[in-house]
Amino acid sequence: MSAIDPGPWRQAATSLADPRVTSALIVQCGLDWLRPPQYGLRDDIDEAVMGSLLARDSLSVDRLVLHSLPVADDLAPGELAALNAAHLGWLSRLAVCAALLPPPRRPRVHRLIIAGSQRTLGDMDGAELQVNGTWSHPAAAAAALAIVRHAGATTPLTSYDIEMNGPYGDADPSVYL
């Protein structure tokens, strides 16, 4: 069972289309995002972000996701491999989607670097929206922005992280979606 409540996430995804929203800060660092029950919600959020960025120039999006998975001793046999595969697939989709947008409209995806022995990240997931210069939850936004701005805490996800070779990938990265 996932601890992710889809209600606030769906509300934030819908609110991205509001022209008064000028910035979004989306933190998805929980392992539950990599489990099948959350694939639909995760994809809906990704689609809302892309649709909003395609629709207007005035939106700035920062996303914070995991660079690699934390140490997890309590996983079922084979679950770590499945989580790692889901993580790799998701990062690839995020990078490809960003590569399809013109540079000024691309979301900034920050991959959180965690310590090798770190087992938990705490409860830091959330979607914060900025309307008229004010964040929906200022303390949560400040905490996430402090991580993003801390030198060495994250590494950017770029199109260089995608292997776009092959007969079609070089000309059309959408084949990887």
d(C-alpha 19, C-alpha 31), whole Å: 32
Q: Where are the domains of the chain?
A: 8-165
Q: Is the dihedral of CA 42, 170, 60, 123 positive or negative?
A: positive
Model confidence at 72, in pLDDT bands (50, 70, 90)?
confident
* Residues near 165 by beta carbon (within 8 Å), at least 6 away in sequence: none
Q: Give tens-digit pLDDT for 96-130.
A: 889 889 999 999 999 998 876 665 666 689 999 99
Does the structural domain 8-165 have CATH classification 3.30.870?
yes
DSSP characters for 5-34? -HHHHHHHHHHTT-TTEEEEEEEE-SGGGG
Alpha-carbon span 113 to 110, nearest angstrom = 9
Nearest alpha-carbon partner for 41 in 61, 80, 11, 64: 11
Q: pLDDT per residue over 22-70, tens digit each?
A: 999 999 999 999 999 999 999 999 999 999 999 999 999 999 999 988 8
Query: From CA 125, how far away is CA 20, in angstroms rounded?
Result: 23
| Gyration radius (Cα) of the chain, Å | 16
146 by Cβ neighbours in 10 Å (0-12 / 13-18 / 19+) ranks as exposed
107, 53 contact by CB (below 8 A): yes
Q: Is 163 exposed, middle or buried (CB count within 10 Å of its CB: 0-12, 13-18, 19+)? A: exposed
pLDDT at 128: 96
pTM of the model: 0.87
